[in-house]
Amino acid sequence: MKVGILESITLVGTLAVAISMVYAGGGLYLDGNPIGLVFVVLGVLLVVAERVLVTPQDLPTLVVEKAVGGVLPDPEESDSPDNE
């Protein structure tokens, strides 16, 4: 799966928030507060949701990728005599 620069920046931002939540939740749980598990689960769900769910902001990107992918061949899949 190819990841563009914008997806990478979004993932880094999501991970920054999620890691903080998991770290704080783990600390709370180890101190005996069961609410810490909620923070751990929310941090994991945050990353999973960011990678799986399609938001309205993602729709134009998906449409353009499908349109360009149908018109232009993938450069890695092209059979050119230069690679022989």
Reported as a single tens digit per residue, the pLDDT across 28-49 is 999 999 999 999 999 999 999 8
Does 37 or 3 have the greater pLDDT score?
Answer: 37
pLDDT above 90 (res 55):
no
**pTM exceeds 0.75 for this model:** no
Position 9 pLDDT exceeds 80 = yes
- The stretches of the chain forming alpha helices (DSSP H) are 5-30, 35-52, 59-71
Q: Which string of b and e fits 35-65 if b means at least 16 CB within 10 Å? A: ebeebbeebeebbeebeeeeeeeeeeeeeee
Domains of the chain, by residue range, sit at 5-73
Q: Which pLDDT belongs to residue 83? A: 54
15 vs 72, higher pLDDT? 15
What's the rounded mean pLDDT across residues 13-33?
A: 95
Tokens of 8: 């990478």
Identity of the residue numbered 38:
V
